Amino acid sequence: MADGRDEDILFARHGAVGLVTLNRPRALNALTLDMIRAMDARLRAWEADGAVTRIVLRANGGRAFCAGGDVRAVHALARAGRDAEVGDFWDGEYGLDALIAAYPKPIVSLIGGIVMGGGNGLSVHGSHRVASEGYRFAMPEVGIGFFPDVGMTYVLPRLPGRTGTYLALTGATIGAGDALALGLATHYVRADGFDAVVAALGEGSAVDGVLAAHAEAPPPTGPVVAERDLIDGCFSEPSVADILARLDGAAARGSAFAADTAALMRTRSPTSLCIAHAQMRRGVAMEFSDCIAAEIRLAGFLMRGHDFFEGVRAALLDKDGAPDWRPASLDAVDHAAIAGIFDDTGGPAPRSDREGRTDRA
């Protein structure tokens, strides 16, 4: 039974399920501020509705669950000097992530296709993440002069070994096998089984039991599992430069994975790499609410800089793949400024933090 609709996001009740469907497939279901606000409001309403005992998130289109926030729109707003609206976007997106992390009812994400950036903010903080055969996870923000946000300061450092640091500093894409092994996904169901999962959850049976009954054998793992020892050894180094040196050494000894990883990192914004590395080293000891507050400050810092605008230009607008990072070298990055952002206990907090909602359930 449908009980709400917006062009880009749909809401419906299916028995015990409150169903959210992202409906912007031509944009790979990238999140607009209107979508974020609509989802926030509906989740709060369903939290208070005793007839809704679990939430399901899914997406239309097949190619992507959600490719992230609408970076083009944020870029345009920032270029136009509409800083308040840019701030509203980050506040809304990070506040929604915090709401999901603290939500008292199970949230089941049915993830088909690409899940990047803000799509991971919607899904990974929920209780259950169901990957399909098309699942592709990435946090590629270092490639556009940004940083792995949407609560990844909390999530990625807590993955096994240094796999989260690898994902943060490379922006590499992984499939369902590796995601299940790392805990980013909790179950594997082919996409053509998603409707059956929604129907079964709507009957009100225990969520864990329903998902266990529909889950299939996981697909083979990929390069992250295969190269775990090398990843842990290299990405445990105390600086980005040291990580690259270790990768170069492994490459010289014949590791194609190390060579490819170092080459990929050298295409990324040096400032973003250093921010992401600081996130991974500091985030493991931070509470979720503190991570979100730090990300608000980091976003504001980068909106006042150069690399985000240049990265979006090179990757999404002109698509020339040749960003002019400033600074262009790791040595010239202002590490003191980055440390100061993390050490700052003031600054704006996301909406959910102001309402006391950012402690994880």
Catalytic residue ranges: 69, 118, 141, 149
Peptide bond just before 106 cis, omega within 30 deg: no
Kindly state the tokens that stand for 146.
């940004």
Contact criterion met (CB below 8 Å) for 307 and 272:
yes
Cα maximum dimension of the chain: 61
State whether residue 86 is helix, strand or coil: helix
- What DSSP assignment string belongs to 154-212? HHGGGSSTTHHHHHHHH---B-HHHHHHHTS--EE--GGGHHHHHHHHHTT--HHHHHH
**Around Cβ 226, how many Cβ atoms within 10 Å?**
13
User: SS3 letters for 256-285?
Assistant: HHHHHHHHHHCCCCHHHHHHHHHHHHHHCC
Whole-angstrom Cα distance, residue 159 to residue 284? 10
Q: Across-strand partners of 5?
A: 10
What tokens were used for 237?
Answer: 């180094």
Does residue 332 contact residue 269 with C-beta atoms inside 8 Å? no
Beta-bridged to residue 174, according to DSSP, are: 137
What are the phi and psi torsion angles at 270 (to 5°)? -55, -40
Task: Give me the residue label for tokens 């105390």.
Answer: 238
